[in-house]
Structures are given as structure tokens and as C-alpha cells.
Amino acid sequence: MIGYSRAEALAEKAVLPVNFGALDGEASWLEGGRTSGQARVGPHRLSGSGPSATTRPALFTALRTGFARDLLREAFYATRRLRAERRRKRGLTATEAVRGLGKLLVVAPDQASAQSYHAMIQAWMPEEQARRDVRIATSAEADAHAALAAFRLTPEPAVLVTVAMAYEGLDAPEVAVVAALTHIRSRPWLEQMIARATRVDPHAGDYADQHALVFHPDDPLFAQFRARIETEQATATRPRKRPTGAASPEPRPLSRDADEGIVPLESNALGLRYAMLRPGPSMAMARPEAAEAAPVPPSRVERALRARVAAMVTAQAVEDEAELRGRPGAPLPHRYNAVLKRLFNNKSRAAMTVDELEAALAWLERNRLQDHLHLLEGDSRYAWSARRRWAGMERRPG
């Protein structure tokens, strides 16, 4: 790893300080592996001096019941206050779409929870604004890459709900607030997640006016993670009290056995407290542009290159969408992927070698797919795949 001290990171204003909003709560659940005759457990507090037998079941329950709603609401309204304040300072109206107002990233424990959180946030907004400002990006969504690209490159949407698609390498400096509603507790994962919000946003004004805000459950596992960072970096947090009555949940993948036989019943938030941590080298190095130079297996290189190609294709689609809106045909990302395939000997990304993927990236950096849409005219294979894809989208509920 490249030597990069905490003092250097802060002196160079390369990363932002992090304000943790730790939400405590209590949860109750049924366990026993049967729908009848199960024993009710709880309520048990999320917080504690150390992990116990109830820590993970309580966290599992909290992320799927009322506690998750409370934490999500805290993050949502914190984002709304931040955006309103930045609008006020810049003399903007409530409807002007500009960069640098701050965005909310919601990290969910699974796809079902992500759908629930997405619907929850949309219900807190007027219908038209909800459609415009809130997107979801999971592997089950056909337009997930387009949603990620729009969140990264355009003023709207202001909220993105995801499970793991935004975990590694999401370059979105406008993320100012993270709702950590996942069960993951491994240190590398948490560092990557927090790094999503510690990028300096060039559109948001002075460095001194920016900081990351991460809402998470106040469980002992997360507390241990933060304590290790503080100890290694000699950066003690400065706690700030806040009146009780708020919300919280958070991350580490549960083993398959962890939730077996557990039926979440209810949970609620009890109190929220804040603590400031100034990030050091670990979080600085978790940023996408500061990746390690360690040897990487070829299969992983191919996956990373395919992801970069997909991101560049969807980025061009998002940028060109307004200009091409109204033209007949399949969704623009699908058309652009088909164009790229025609340009590279009818090879899909999955079939490309490392050299071919690197060539595709180099081509995308210098050219626009929009200029080559004529390659799809009269292409019966593309017309067939477009009809199938369009039919599948129309059958989806909602």
C-alpha cells in the first residue's frame, strides 16, 4: 500500500471528516425454526459493551422492521436539510437542478429490503419528485447501471438505494449522507462504504463546509470497527449529544445460519448520538483512485474491465438521453451496448478477452456511441433482442 499518513491526507484536503450518527434501539423476534411453537425473544438492545448471542439476531430484525424506517428517516431528513441549506446559500429555488447539493446513498441488506426502502422514501415525497429524485440499483433491476450513472453524473436523482452495486469504486463525490442499513461488519467492507461519502465534492463549495454523515446502528460490532480505526490512527472521536427519539441500522454479511429460524417481529429506535472521526490512511486508500498495486488474478481483472466498460456505456447513454428522447427503439443503454458489440466483431463483453476489453475502453474514451447507431439499422438480430427486452420490461409490474 502506498504510504499516505492521516496528517498528509487531511493537510492535502484529500478526504473529508466523517460524522457518525449511531442510532440505538431494541428488537424482538421469534426463533425456533417453526411457524408454530416459536419462542419470543426480546426486546434486546442493539448497543452493548461487546458482541453477545443476541447481537446479530437483533441487527437482522432491526434492518427489516421499524428501526430501519427510523434510521432511514433520519438520513433522509438530514439530506433534505443539507440540500435546503446549500440552496439557500447559493440563492437557488427549490426546483433548480444543480450539482453539489449533496446526495443520499442507502445501503440495504438484501434486494427485498432495498425495494421496501425505495418505496418508503418515495412515499415521503410528492409523486412526481419521487420518480425523479429516488432510484434503485440492484442486480434485479434492468436499468441498474443507468441508475448508477445518473446518480454519479447528473444532478438528479438525489437518492440511490442499493445493496452491493455501489460498494466498490462508485465515484460519486456528491454523496454526503450514507444510510448504512446493512448487516456487513467486515472492516474492508465498512471502509469502502464510508469512503463513498468522504470524497471532496468540487461542486459543493469550500472544503471547510463539507463533511460526510454516516447513519448506522449502534451495535457493538460497528463500535469495535470504529474503535480500531481510532486506535490505529490516534484519532479519538468527539461525541456530541442529541435528544433521544430517532432511528438506526447497519453492515456485515450474516452467515447462512445467522438468520435461520428467526422471524423478525418488531424494533424501534431509542436514541441517536453523533461522533466525529477524521479519516486517516485506511479510508484515503479505500478511494477508487488510490487502489493498491498488488497482483490481481486474471479473472478479477476481466470482471473489473467489464464493469468499467458497462459504466462508460451507461454514462454515455445518460448524457445523450435528453437529445435522443422520443426516438423509437429500445432503451438507450441497450442500443449502445448493441452498437459496441457490432464495433468489436459482434463480441459481447462476456466473450471479450482482457486485450479486447482494454481496446473497448480506449475506444469509448475517444468516441461516442451515438455516432454509430446506424450500425443497428436493418440488423435482424438486434431487432429480435430489442423486441424481447422491451416485452419483458412491459410485463414487469408497476
**pLDDT averaged per 10 residues in sequence order, the chain, 398 residues:** 49 78 87 63 83 86 90 94 93 89 91 92 92 88 84 91 68 90 82 84 89 90 80 50 38 40 72 66 53 59 83 75 56 81 86 85 80 80 62 48
Report the Cα 230 to chain-centroid distance in Å: 24
Distance from C-alpha of 380 to C-alpha of 311, rounded to nearest angstrom: 26
Between the two ends of the chain, the Cα-to-Cα distance in Å is: 47
Mean pLDDT (the chain, rounded): 76
Report the Cα 303 to chain-centroid distance in Å: 19
Quote the pLDDT of residue 217.
Answer: 92
Quote the pLDDT of residue 123.
Answer: 94
225 closest CA partner among 192, 197, 274, 256: 192
C-alpha cell at position 5: 499518513
* 165, 156 contact by CB (below 8 A): no
C-alpha cell at position 133: 429524485
* CB atoms closer than 10 angstroms to residue 202: 11
305-324 burial by CB neighbour count: b if 16+ within 10 A, else e?
A: bbbbbbbbbbbbbbbbbeee
Report the Cα 211 to chain-centroid distance in Å: 17
Distance from C-alpha of 180 to C-alpha of 182, rounded to nearest angstrom: 6
Quote the pLDDT of residue 245.
Answer: 39
Report in angstroms the alpha-carbon separations of 189 from 29, 90, 166, 205. 27, 35, 12, 29
* 192, 279 contact by CB (below 8 A): no
C-alpha cell at position 280: 486517516
Quote the pLDDT of residue 383.
Answer: 67
Distance from C-alpha of 192 to C-alpha of 283, rounded to nearest angstrom: 7
Quote the pLDDT of residue 169.
Answer: 57
Q: Is 189 helix (H, G, I), strand (E, B) or coil?
A: helix
How do strand 262-277 and strand 18-31 relate by DSSP bridges?
antiparallel
333 closest CA partner among 362, 310, 356: 310
The alpha carbon torsion through 255, 231, 193, 297 (nearest 10 deg) reads -70
Distance from C-alpha of 248 to C-alpha of 20, rounded to nearest angstrom: 11
Quote the pLDDT of residue 91.
Answer: 92
Quote the pLDDT of residue 256.
Answer: 35
Distance from C-alpha of 397 to C-alpha of 309, rounded to nearest angstrom: 30
Quote the pLDDT of residue 273.
Answer: 73
Quote the pLDDT of residue 241.
Answer: 47
Q: Half-sphere exposure (CA, 13 Å, Cβ side) for 174?
A: 24
Distance from C-alpha of 329 to C-alpha of 332, rounded to nearest angstrom: 8
